[in-house]
Amino acid sequence: MHCSGANRNLTGMEGSVVTSQDLFVFKQQGYDDEGRIRGTFAATGVRPKCMGRLRQNGVEIPRSHFAWRMSV
């Protein structure tokens, strides 16, 4: 079983072009003392189209993993 893309959801085709949407985005927050990028991944609110197939194969992923959250 394979969900296409590590963090993207295939949404369809436009002619011969595959279209996709981000499932998660990386929000850079700066750098650590060693110069490495620091940040967090945030859900965009889009759920993968393959969720039904995953569930049918015994893989349960809570919907909350894909819930969009915003800090202010």
Average pLDDT of the chain is: 80
**21 within some domain:** yes
**70 within some domain:** no
**72 within some domain:** no
Residues 6+ apart with CB under 8 A from 42: 24, 25, 26, 27, 68, 69
**40 within some domain:** yes
**19 within some domain:** yes
Decide if 22 contacts 8 (C-beta within 8 A).
Answer: yes
User: How much is the average pLDDT of 52-63?
Assistant: 90
Residue 34, domain extent: 8-57
Pick left, alpha or beta for residue 29 (phi over 0 → left; psi -120 to 50 → alpha; otherwise beta). alpha
**2 within some domain:** no
- 37 band by pLDDT with thresholds 50, 70 and 90: very high
Look at the chain and report how many structural domains it folds into: 1
